[in-house]
Amino acid sequence: MKTTLSTLICAAFSAFACSALAAGAEKITMPDFTKGDTIPSNAKHDWNLGPTGLRGWMYCDKLVTTDARQIAITTVDRGSPAQGVIEVGDVLLGAGGKLFSFDPRTELGRAITAAETVEGGGKLMLTRWRGGQTSEVMVKLPVLGSFSATAPFDCLKSKRILEQGTQALAERVSQPDYGRQTDGIPRSLNALALLASGDPAHLPLVKREAQWAADFSTKGYSTWYYGYVMMLLSEYISTTGDESVLPGLRRLALEAAHGQSAVGSWGHKFALPDGRLSGYGMMNAPGLPLTIGLVMARDAGVKEPEVAQAIELSARLMRFYVGKGAVPYGDHPAWTETHEDNGKCGMAAVLFQRLGEAEAAEFFTRMAVASHGNERDCGHTGNFFNMTWSLPAIGQAGPHATGAWMLEFGSWYHDLARRWDGTFTHQGPPEPDHDSYQGWDATGAYLLAYALPLKKITLTGKKPGVVSQFNPATTQNLIADGRGWTNKDRKNAYQQLTEAELLARLGSWSPIVRERAAAELAARKPAPVSAIISLLDSQSLDARLGACYALEALSGAAAPAVPQLRKTLQHSDLWLRVKAADALAAIGKPALPALPDILDRIALTPENNDPRAMEQRYLCSAVFGKMLTDAQRLEGVNREQLCTAIARGLKNQDGHARSKVSEIYQRLTFDEIKPLLPAILDAVDKPAPSGEMFADGVRLNGLKILAAHQIEEGIPACADYIRTQNPWASQERTPKVLEQLLKYGAHAHTAVPKLRETAECFEKHEPDFPKQLSLKKATAVREAIAKIEASTERPVLRNLKP
C-alpha cells in the first residue's frame, strides 16, 4: 500500500520523539514464545530478516533490541530460500550455530553476512524452535562474497548487490501500477539509483521517470517532495544531456525558491505571503534536500537569480551549525545528543561538498562517520532518511571511511534489510509500533550507496569534492567517537572512563563527545572543578568549549569559574562567548556580576559573520530564561542597560528568543516598562520571522502587560492576534487572549466586529486545522463577545500616542 507524507507528520520534534510515542503506549512485557506467549497486540513492528524470505518480530525496549533473545516468524515468502525450512509461528533462538546472546538483529545480520561469504558457502544455520522442539536447520543463500575493508569500493559483494538490486528495481519500476504504489520520495531515489548504476539499459525507464518528475505537482507537503524530484531531474539532465525536462525543473526550482521563508528556511509547506512559515515553522529535513536540489538545478542550467539567493539564504542557516552539533529539527540549538539527527548531517555534508565549502563539508562528514549503531538506527518518526543519507555523505571521505563504517554497522544492517529478490525494504527503528515510513520501498536509497564506486552521478561522487580523504587512523577514531551510547543506556560507557580520559574528551572535535564527557564529569563527586577551569586557558578552542559545557553542567558548583568565564565573554569566537554565557547562566546568582557584560553584548550590533544575530539570540535565552528568573535578581541591575537589552532582544529574528525576553515584563514596574511599551506592542503586532512554533509567547505576554496597564492599543492588538496567531496550539491560547481583552471592560466593544468575523472564520473550519478545535475557538470568541456587550466597566485607559 502506498504511504504518503501526509501520514508522516507528528507533533514531537527531537530525533528520538518516537521513543516518547512508544513510552506513551501501554508497557510491553517481553514474551517467551517457547512458553506459549504471543506477540503483544500493541506491538506491530516486525523486521525483514535478510535475503531469507522471512520477516520476524522481536522485543524492543527504548528503541533497542538488546534484551530480546527470540524472533517470532511472522512471514515466509513463497519461493524464498526459507520456504520449507521455516514456517510462520516458528521461533528463532539463534543463528550461525550460537544462541542469541546480545541482540538478535545484529547477530542474525552478522550471521547472514558470514553465510554469504565463500567460506560460509551460503549456509545460514538457524536455531529453530517449533512445537516444543529445538533444532539446527539450514537456509541456503546465494554466495555473494565478503565485504572488502573499503566496501563498497573495491568490493565484489557490493558490485553483485548493486547488479542484482538494480535489475530487480528495473523490473519493479517497469510495472504498470508502479507510480500509483510508490511515494514520490522513494520513487525519485529509485530512478536516481538506476541512473547511478551506469547501465544504459535502464535509461528508458529513467527517462520515463524524469518526465513524471518534470510534471510533478502536489497539494500536500510540497517541500518534502520537491528536493528529491529536483535532484532526479538535475542528475538526469547532467548525465544524459536531455534538456526536454529542463522547463519542469525550472518551474519546480522557482516554486521552491519563492516558497522559502524570509530567513531562508522551509517548513512542511511553503511560506505564507508575509514570508513566515506556518505550523512547526522551520524544518531542516525537507529544507536541506530542497537546497541540494536547487544547487543541482543551478548546475543543470537553472540560472535564475531567485534560485541563487535561495541557496545562499539556506546555506547561511546551515553554516551556523558547523562545529556546534548535528543539524536540528528546525530553528533550534544544535542537536548534541547524537552525531546525526535523521540524516540531516549527511544532507549538510553533501550540500557543502557541492558548494565547495571544505570546513563545513568535512565537519558534517565527520558527524556522519561517527553516527552508527543505535545513533543511526533511530530517527524522528522513523529512520528512513538516517539510512538514505549515510553513505552518500561518508563516501565523500573515501574508501577507508566507508569500509570502517560498514564493518562497524552498515554491513549487517544492510544485509538484514536486503530481501531475497535483491530489493531493500525500510526497516525502521526498533520501536513497538509507530513508524511513519512503514511500507516504503528503500531499494534506491540503499543502492545509491553501492553505486558510489561508479561515480556516475553527483550524489555518488561524479564531481570532485573538497573533503580530504580520511586515512585509516582518522576513520577509526571517528568510529570510536560514536560508540558508547544507546537510547536505553546513555551513560554507562562514559562512567567507565577515568577522570583524565574524560578531561581529554572535553577537547574532542565532536560536540557530542564533549557533551557526554561534560555530563559525566559533572556527575562525579567531587567533580574536578579546578582542572576544568584550567581548560578555559587552553590553546585548543575545542577544549575551551568543552570546559564551558562541563561548567554549565556543574551549575552552582562551578561558581569559582565566574571570573574566568567573564574573561571568556570577550573571546573572538562567537560560539565560545555563547557557551561561556550559558555556563554563567547555569551557575546562577554567583554569576550575576557578569550580567552587565552579557547585557552589553545583547545590545551590540551583530558582527558581519552573524547576520541573524544568533549570539544575541542565545544570550537573551541565557539572561532572561535563566539569570533573571525572579524579582530579587533584578536588584542592583542598571535599568537603562536592561531596557536597552530588552528592546534589542524584542527585535531578534527568533520567536523563542523574543518570548524569553518577554518573561521579564511582569517583574518590572509601570515606570520601568513604560519606555518599552511601544517596542512591546510592535513585538505583538509584527511576529518574529522565524521560530514560529515558539513565537506566540512574546505576543501573549505583550498582550498581558498591555491589558494590565490598560493600554488602549492593546484592544485591537488582541482582536487581531486571535485571527492571525499561529494555528499551532491556538485552541489553548485563544481563551487566554480573550481573557486579556475582557480586562478592558466595555471599551473592548470596538473589537466586537472583528471578533464576529473571526468567529465566523473559525466556524467555517480553518484549513489544515482540526474542525472540532476550530469550533472550540469559535465558541470561546462568541462567549467573549457576549461578556463584552454585557459589560458596564470602563477603566481609565492609557494611550501610547503622543
pLDDT digit string (tens) for 657-696? 999 999 999 999 999 999 999 999 999 999 999 998 888 9
Cα separation, 545 vs 510, whole angstroms? 11
The conformation of residue 189, written as its DSSP 8-state character, comes to H
User: What was the pLDDT predicted at 6?
Assistant: 41
Interval 768-788: pLDDT, tens: 789 999 999 999 999 999 999
Mean per-residue pLDDT for 633-649?
Answer: 94
Range 556-563 average pLDDT: 98
Which region among 104-108, 134-138, 421-425, 432-436 has the lowest average model confidence (pLDDT)?
Answer: 432-436
Grid cell of 317 as nine digits = 542557516
Closest CA to 105 of 143, 48, 34, 147: 48
| Helix axes 472-481 and 358-370, enclosed angle (nearest 10) | 60
Average pLDDT over residues 27-41: 93
Q: What's the rounded Cα separation, in Å, for the pair 286 and 267?
A: 7
Q: Which helix (H) or strand (E) holds 123?
A: strand 123-130
Confidence at 630, pLDDT banded by 50, 70, 90: confident
Q: Where residue 219 falls among pLDDT bands split at 50, 70, 90?
A: confident
Q: Is the pLDDT of residue 280 over 70?
A: yes
pLDDT at residue 28 in the model: 85
pLDDT in tens, 570-584: 999 999 999 999 999
Question: Greater confidence, 436 or 1?
Answer: 436
Listing DSSP states for 718-770 in one string gives HHHHHHHS-STTHHHHHHHHHHHHHTTGGGGGGGHHHHHHHHHHHHT--TTS-
Average pLDDT over residues 401-429: 97
Q: For residue 125, list its beta bridge partners.
A: 138
- Summarize pLDDT for 687-700 with one digit per residue, the tens: 999 998 888 999 99
At residue 15 the predicted structure's pLDDT band, cuts being 50, 70 and 90, is very low
pLDDT by residue (tens digit) across 484-502?
999 999 999 999 999 999 9
pLDDT at residue number 579? 98
Residue 250 near residue 304, CB atoms below 8 Å:
yes
Written as one string, the DSSP assignment of 330-348 is SSSSPB-SSS-STTHHHHH
**Residue whose C-alpha is closest to residue 81's, from 388, 424, 420, 392:** 420
In 3D space, the residue among 607, 605, 599 whose CA is nearest the CA of residue 639 turns out to be 599
Sort 617 into a burial class: Cβ within 10 Å, 0-12 / 13-18 / 19+.
buried
Say how far apart CA 438 and CA 558 lie, in whole Å.
Answer: 47
pLDDT of residue 21: 38
How does DSSP assign 193-249, residue by residue? HHHHTT-GGGHHHHHHHHHHHHT---SS-HHHHHHHHHHHHHHHHHHH--GGGHHHH
Is 379's pLDDT higher than 90? no
Residue 435 has a pLDDT of 84
pLDDT of residue 13: 34
**Minimal CA–CA distance to 135: which of 108, 81, 97?**
97
- The cell for 153 is 569500493
Contact of 541 with 511, CB cutoff 8 Å: no
Greatest CA separation for the chain: 92
φ, ψ of residue 483 to 5 degrees: the values are -85, 165
Q: Is the pLDDT of residue 395 over 50?
A: yes
Predicted confidence at residue 552, as pLDDT, reads: 98
Domains of the chain: residue spans and CATH: 5-140 (2.30.42.10), 156-481 (1.50.10.20), 710-802 (no CATH)
- Burial of 422 by CB count in 10 Å (0-12 exposed, 13-18 middle, 19+ buried)? buried
- pLDDT tier at 26 (50, 70, 90 boundaries)? low
Query: Lowest-confidence range among 71-80, 94-103, 278-287, 316-325?
Result: 278-287
pLDDT band of residue 12 (cuts 50, 70, 90) is: very low
How many alpha carbons fall within 13 Å on the CB side of residue 391?
30
The reported pLDDT for the residue numbered 279 is 82
Q: How confident is the model at residue 2 (pLDDT cuts 50, 70, 90)?
A: very low
Looking at residue 77, its pLDDT comes to: 98
Summarize the confidence of residues 593-601 as an average pLDDT: 97
Q: How high is the pLDDT of residue 18?
A: 39
Task: Give the model's pLDDT for residue 434.
Answer: 73
Q: Which pLDDT score is estimated for 703?
A: 98
Is the pLDDT at 5 greater than 90, yes or no? Answer: no
